[in-house]
């Protein structure tokens, strides 16, 4: 690896790259990074660079909580080691390159709080069982002119939803996105003006799960840089305003055995596994206070635990087909750590393949339009509505909670509690505003 890092550093230096972002996402889905000069890349790839161990207990507002017993003092350092085969020069920031990191202890042991390693373990487990996953994120975000305090009062495009005309004022930005994504090695499936105020959606091509999470992080960096170059800012926050359509980061997955897509049959156990654990999954895939505010009926975001065939209100939307059959998890957003989100989805899906829980009939309507009595009769429950309910759902599923391991689970829960305490004496508008530009 050092050889590969030295070679990359040499090429970068010759091409006018001065530094490399060593990037990861914390337990709030917030990207963090350290830049090393290219001359330091090989050393970083060998020994790592130092960082505080407390990143695992940063909350969504950059406050550090000491309530998790494993990380209860300001002392301690970890090593961030770039994943060299994922190094990319950033097309939109040509003096910089980018690589995701793995986190290690000072002694070079795996750091139990390393989210990327948690996903790598699930992928290894899948491969031991002869399973191969494919995953891809769809990113919804809102655009505003640089300097805007929010999106709703200064929308970056006028709509109409899905209109080609809506994107005319953003032509240069759209062109940069298409160029920079390709140059950064990211595949865009589609891009369009979405339903929400000044909203754009961009889907990433499906790939292996770890690459899908890496890509999701790199996509954010790429979009932020392109927006900046065009005098814009983007909000990836789950909600940009009360009563407005949210930004879902829907997660598409499928799983193959011996090349056969098991999602061709919705009743293979995978979908049933996700449905069985959906409340606990959502505690990881849509974990912030604004996440729970986004999951309202009528907004295509998923508010009740059910599945449907191409039903856009369903948190689990089954998309039929042969090779491309997959399931879309809508209760997923930018405040999730992309590695942890995928790790728990894989684990719940694999448990479903093992246990084959009964799959109820799909629902074609919006259960939000039913009475509470109808929902009760048809066995459709609301998803956890706040942090406390999410926490209870998470603890009620050892299948999901166990994926994180005790240390990371403790830190993750401490961070959620810290966020909830922050939000307790704030209004809904204040909460939305404080998360707008965090991701
Ligand atoms: N914006 C919706 C959400 O919050 C999703 C709309 C769609 O189906 O693409 O997830
Ligand atoms: Mg969408």
HEC sequence for the chain: CHHHHHHHHHHHHHCCCCEEEEEEECCCCCEEEEEEEHHHHHHHHHHCEEEEHHHHHECCCCCECCCCHHHCCCCCEEEEEECHHHCEECCCCCCEEEEEEEEECCCCCECCCCHHHHHHHHHHHHHHCCEEEEEEEEEEEEEEECCCCCCCCCCCCCCCCCCCHHHHHHHHHHHHHHHHHHHCCCCEEEEEECCCCCEEEEEECCECHHHHHHHHHHHHHHHHHHHHHCCEEEECCCCCCCCCCCCCCCEEEEEEECCEEHHHCCCCCHHHHHHHCHHHHHHHHCCCHHHHHHCCCCCCCCCECCEEECCCCCCEEEECCCCCCEEEECCCCCCCCHHHHHHHHHHHHHHHHHHCCCCCCCCCCCHHHCCHHHHHHCCCCECCCCHHHHHHHHHCCHHHHHHHHHHHHHHHHHHHHHHHHHHHCCCHHHHHHHHCCCC
Q: What's the pTM value of the predicted model, to 2 decimals?
A: 0.98
Domain identity same for 197 and 293: yes
Determine which residue's CA is closest to atom 5 belonging to ligand 1: 300
| Per-residue buried b or exposed e for 293-317, using 16+ beta carbons within 10 Å of the residue's own CB | bbbbbebbbbbbbbbbeebebbbbb
Alpha-carbon span 236 to 435, nearest angstrom: 9
Domain identity same for 197 and 71: no
CB 114 within 8 A of CB 102: yes
Where a domain ends, among 111, 144, 159? 111
Per the domain annotation, does 154 fall within a domain?
A: yes
User: Which ligand does the CA of 196 lie closest to?
Assistant: 1
Domain identity same for 70 and 8: yes
Determine which residue's CA is closest to atom 8 belonging to ligand 1: 300
Alpha-carbon span 327 to 359, nearest angstrom: 14
- CATH classification at residue 250: 3.30.590.10
Task: Tell me whether the omega of the peptide bond preceding residue 160 falls within 30 degrees of 0, making it cis.
Answer: yes
Domain identity same for 64 and 207: no
Domain identity same for 229 and 203: yes
CB 161 within 8 A of CB 140: no
Exposure of 100 in the CB half-sphere (CA atoms within 13 A)? 24
User: Which ligand does the CA of 201 lie closest to?
Assistant: 2
Q: Is the CB of 330 under 6 A from ligand 1?
A: yes
Per the domain annotation, does 55 fall within a domain?
A: yes
Domain identity same for 83 and 171: no
Per the domain annotation, does 231 fall within a domain?
A: yes
Cα 340 to averaged position of ligand 2 atoms, centre (Å): 22
Residue 322: predicted pLDDT = 84
Domain identity same for 81 and 187: no
Domain identity same for 321 and 403: yes
Domain identity same for 96 and 130: no
Those residues whose beta carbon sits under 5 angstroms from the ion ligand 2 are 201
Q: Which residues, in sequence order, are CB contacts of 341 under 8 Å at separation 6+? A: 213, 251, 284, 285, 332
User: Which ligand does the CA of 303 lie closest to?
Assistant: 1
Q: Is the CB of 248 under 6 A from ligand 1?
A: yes
Alpha-carbon span 165 to 169, nearest angstrom: 8
Ligand 1 atom, smallest distance to 333 CA = 10
Q: Show the tokens assigned to 198.
A: 């000044």
Q: Answer positive or negative: Cα dihedral of 276, 130, 211, 21.
A: positive
- CATH classification at residue 79: 3.10.20.70
Per the domain annotation, does 156 fall within a domain?
A: yes
Spell out the per-residue pLDDT of the chain, length 439, in tens: 689 999 999 999 999 999 999 999 999 999 999 999 999 999 999 999 999 999 999 999 999 999 999 999 999 999 999 999 999 999 999 999 999 999 999 999 999 999 999 999 999 999 999 999 999 999 999 999 999 999 999 999 999 999 999 999 999 999 999 999 999 999 999 999 999 999 999 999 999 999 999 999 999 999 999 999 999 999 999 999 999 999 999 999 999 999 999 999 999 999 999 999 999 999 999 999 999 999 999 999 999 999 999 899 999 999 999 899 999 999 999 999 999 999 999 999 999 999 999 999 999 999 999 999 999 999 999 999 999 999 999 999 999 999 999 999 999 999 999 999 999 999 999 999 999 999 9
Q: Is the CB of 312 under 6 A from ligand 1?
A: yes
Domain count, the chain: 2
Alpha-carbon span 260 to 118, nearest angstrom: 26
Per the domain annotation, does 116 fall within a domain?
A: no
CB 54 within 8 A of CB 65: no
Where a domain ends, among 80, 111, 142? 111
Domain identity same for 174 and 317: yes
Residue 1: predicted pLDDT = 62
CB 306 within 8 A of CB 370: no
Instruction: Print the domain residue range for 386.
Output: 121-435
Q: Is the CB of 286 under 6 A from ligand 1?
A: no
CB 210 within 8 A of CB 24: no
- Nearest one of 368, 389, 386, 142 to 248, comparing CA atoms: 142
Domain identity same for 142 and 283: yes
Per the domain annotation, does 266 fall within a domain?
A: yes
Where a domain ends, among 87, 111, 135? 111
CB 390 within 8 A of CB 415: no
Q: Answer positive or negative: Cα dihedral of 189, 193, 198, 199.
A: negative
CB 325 within 8 A of CB 425: no
Domain identity same for 349 and 417: yes
Ligand 1 atom, smallest distance to 250 CA = 10
Determine which residue's CA is closest to atom 7 belonging to ligand 1: 300
């Amino acid at each position: 690896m050092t050889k590969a890092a030295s070679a990359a550093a040499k090429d970068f230096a010759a091409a006018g790259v001065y530094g490399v972002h060593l990037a990861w996402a914390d337990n709030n889905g917030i990207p963090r990074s350290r830049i090393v000069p290219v001359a330091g890349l090989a050393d970083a790839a060998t020994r790592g660079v130092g960082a505080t161990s407390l990143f695992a207990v940063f909350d969504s507002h950059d406050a550090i909580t000491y309530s998790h017993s494993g990380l209860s003092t300001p002392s301690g350092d970890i090593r961030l080691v770039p994943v060299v085969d994922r190094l990319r020069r950033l097309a939109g920031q040509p003096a910089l390159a980018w690589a995701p990191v793995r986190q290690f202890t000072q002694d070079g042991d795996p750091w139990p709080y390393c989210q990327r390693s948690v996903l790598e373990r699930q992928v290894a487990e899948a491969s031991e069982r002869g399973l191969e996953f494919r995953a891809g994120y769809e990113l919804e975000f809102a655009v505003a002119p640089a300097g805007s305090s929010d999106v709703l009062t200064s929308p970056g495009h006028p709509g109409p939803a899905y209109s080609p005309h809506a994107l005319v004022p953003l032509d240069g930005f759209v062109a940069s996105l298409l160029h920079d994504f390709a140059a950064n090695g990211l595949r865009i499936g589609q891009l369009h003006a979405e339903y929400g105020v000044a909203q754009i959606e961009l889907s990433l091509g499906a790939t292996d799960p770890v690459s899908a999470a890496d890509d999701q992080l790199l996509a954010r960096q790429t979009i932020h840089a392109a927006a900046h170059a065009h005098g814009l800012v983007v909000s990836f926050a789950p909600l940009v305003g009360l009563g407005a359509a949210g930004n879902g980061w829907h997660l598409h997955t499928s799983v193959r055995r011996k090349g056969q897509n098991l999602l061709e049959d919705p009743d293979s156990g995978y979908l049933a596994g996700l449905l069985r654990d959906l409340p606990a999954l959502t505690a990881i895939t849509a974990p912030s206070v604004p996440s729970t505010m986004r999951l309202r009926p009528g907004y295509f975001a998923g508010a009740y635990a059910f599945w449907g065939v191409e039903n856009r209100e369903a948190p689990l939307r089954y998309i039929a087909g042969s090779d491309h059959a997959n399931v879309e998890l809508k209760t997923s957003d930018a405040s999730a750590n992309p590695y942890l989100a995928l790790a728990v989805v894989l684990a719940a899906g694999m448990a479903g393949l093992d246990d084959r829980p009964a799959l109820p009939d799909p629902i074609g309507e919006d259960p939000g339009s039913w009475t509470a009595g109808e929902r009760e009769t048809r066995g459709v429950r609301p998803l956890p509505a706040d942090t406390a309910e999410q926490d209870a759902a998470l603890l009620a599923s050892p299948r999901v909670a166990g994926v994180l391991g005790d240390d990371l689970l403790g830190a993750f829960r401490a961070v959620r509690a810290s966020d909830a305490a922050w939000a307790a004496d704030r209004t809904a508008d204040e909460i939305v505003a404080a998360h707008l530009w965090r991701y």
